Amino acid sequence: MKRLLKSLVTISALSSLIVAPFLLSASQASAETKKGTDASYIGAGVAGGVTSGGQGINDDATFGGNVTGRVKLGTTPFSARGNVLWSDKTSAIIPEVSVDVPIANRTNAYLTGGYSFVEKDGSPTPIGNKDSVVLGAGIESEVANNFLVYTNAKVGLGAYQNSDTPAVSINGGLGYRFK
């Protein structure tokens, strides 16, 4: 019986020595949780279409600009976003919802889903020349007090007239935090 008790104490002590570092590192990791950013902001920058619809008329890759806004939805990982991508011909208005993932202090990665409304169907924008479902991914980071930089890629599904080629736009800019 004494031998069994001694074995149990030895096993418990060794188990504690093995498990303790994992518990300490887990509590340390949770103390260093990535905060990300909860900024609501509005920004402006450039937008570049990198695909064409292949038809040759009003569906070439187009360079333009963007205005982007984000409103954080409480303590959830979701945000409401709005974008306007324009060219010298017309613009596309894109309301979106995003899932935001903190990846570093004051920095988020995000995935978006929304719909593009082209103001003049058939005229080129950086995200195609007709209304379409839009999926996207991006990164935003606070770089100074009340200022952020953002970049994202958007894919318009079926965003060209007479073509099922997806439209791809790369966007970036500088934002001002209002909340």
**pLDDT at res. 61:** 77
In the block, tokens 């920004």 appear at 43
Which of 25-34, 57-66, 93-102 tops mean pLDDT? 93-102
Greater pLDDT, 12 or 107: 107
The one-letter amino acid at 100: D
Cβ count near 151 (within 10 Å): 15
Quickly state the pLDDT bin for 15 (edges 50, 70, 90): very low
- Contact predicate 50/170, CB 8 Å: yes
**pLDDT at res. 165:** 87
Cβ count near 176 (within 10 Å): 12
Task: Note the pLDDT tens digit of each residue in 42-88.
Answer: 999 999 999 877 676 666 778 999 999 999 999 999 999 999 999 99
